[in-house]
Amino acid sequence: MQQTSTAQALPADAVTDPAAVPPTRAAWLAVLSVGIGSFALVTTEFLPVGLLPSIAAELRISEGTAGMMVTLPGIIAAFAAILVTIGIGKTDRRYVIAGLTTTLIVSNLIVAFSDSFTLILLARALLGVGVGGFWAIGGAIGTRLVSAPYAARATSIIFAGVSVGTVAGVPAGALLGEIASWRAAFLATGAVGMVVLVLQLALMPRLPAAGSLTFRQVPELLRIKKARLGMAVTLLVFIGQFSAYTYVTPFLVQVAQLGAGVISALFLAYGVAGFIGNLLGGWLVARSVRRSLMAVGLVIGLSTLALPLAGTSLAGVVLLIVTWGLGFGMMPISVQSWMFKAAPHAMESGGAVFVSTAQVALAGGALVGGIVADHLGVSGVMIAGGAFALAMALVIWRFGDEDGGPSARLAAVH
């Protein structure tokens, strides 16, 4: 089937022949525009992390209160993932993606120019709508822009925006905040959003909806065994990842006794490893989603469990942090690919359920990590996080059906 150009409509019920010719350059540019959008959203979502002291000082609030700028978008995103997917109905997905990118731009402009923390929080809530909605449908977009044999690669490119945002976007925003001001950082990210919006409108073809989601359809996913298993897997691995990751800096300071410069370098290495892991995850899911998930659980679980044992050795800490980063990079594409495979007839609804589950698990992971840290210390948090991740690998090994072979069945759901 000839790849759709930007001037043509992509049929809603198109099923790509696995023997189709490779995607055109225009198709890959469209995928890239969505990937850059994911980078901009991730950068914006976590931008306040490196700017909290400056924000708190200027607005005369505590750093804990300023932290609501990170917490609130995550909470909103958990609800928005399903509500947006239902609300958009059969709207052309090209304009939906562009609209979600617009929320990023508006949010950053309000934050950059407002002196009211209440208004800033409302702007960040708007961003949560964009984040939840984007992740609910963004992953599925890649499988519709290219032919089936290339779907895993396209999805990997879109998810690579997460790793790039982690390794480059957030540190760059923090640096700009130090050089200029925290408001300048939000303005710059808003400008990136404007560029992304132009690229998406120029490069993406029309993408008529293959169907629309209703509230009644959401519970139907729970009747699918693989979808239920996917939700359980998402909860376990995200709780494990973010319970440990939230407290990795206190661990590196208190147990490994590393200085700020070394810790910053470790985070950079973690991000680079995450980017590589994302590409590796795309390669693995093209062969076996089940094995890719097992690898994620084992890599994250074993590396975090070993950190307390290697905490006195710089070489050991570096090796384990980099290994952990590889597992983190593989995690999003592996888990969401399982959800796509579980319900290939409802990729957007499956994506919405995945995002909602992930956001709840993210918040839950931070809560679990805090409780463990208070009672067992930061080394205990690493052990708890590793245990959750290993439990995920055990669950998918025990209850997941073997999916073997190429992912043509996974991706051929355009």
Measured CA to CA, the distance from residue 303 to residue 64 in angstroms comes to 30
Look at residue 64 in the predicted model and tell me its pLDDT: 66
3 state SS of 132 = helix
User: Closest Cα partner for 334 from 400, 388, 383?
Assistant: 400
Burial 151-173 (b: 16+ CB within 10 A, else e): bbbbbbbbbbbbbbbbbbbbbbb
Look at residue 301 in the predicted model and tell me its pLDDT: 95
The structure tokens listed for 231 are 């939700």
Task: Name the amino acid, one letter, at 249.
Answer: T
Measured CA to CA, the distance from residue 130 to residue 106 in angstroms comes to 11
Measured CA to CA, the distance from residue 124 to residue 312 in angstroms comes to 40
* E strands present in 98-168: none
C-alpha dist (Å) from residue 345 to 74, 192, 287: 27, 34, 21
Measured CA to CA, the distance from residue 266 to residue 346 in angstroms comes to 40
Which residue ranges of the chain lie beneath pLDDT 70?
1-20, 49-50, 63-64, 139, 163, 166-167, 169-171, 209-222, 260, 343-352, 402-414
Global model pTM greater than 0.85: no
3 state SS of 395 = helix
The structure tokens listed for 56 are 């708190």
Look at residue 7 in the predicted model and tell me its pLDDT: 37
CB atoms within 10 A of CB 78: 22
Measured CA to CA, the distance from residue 2 to residue 61 in angstroms comes to 57
Contacts of 336 (CB under 8 A, 6+ apart): 139, 155, 159, 351, 354
3 state SS of 10 = coil
The structure tokens listed for 188 are 């710059």
Look at residue 210 in the predicted model and tell me its pLDDT: 66
CB atoms within 10 A of CB 332: 28
Look at residue 126 in the predicted model and tell me its pLDDT: 95
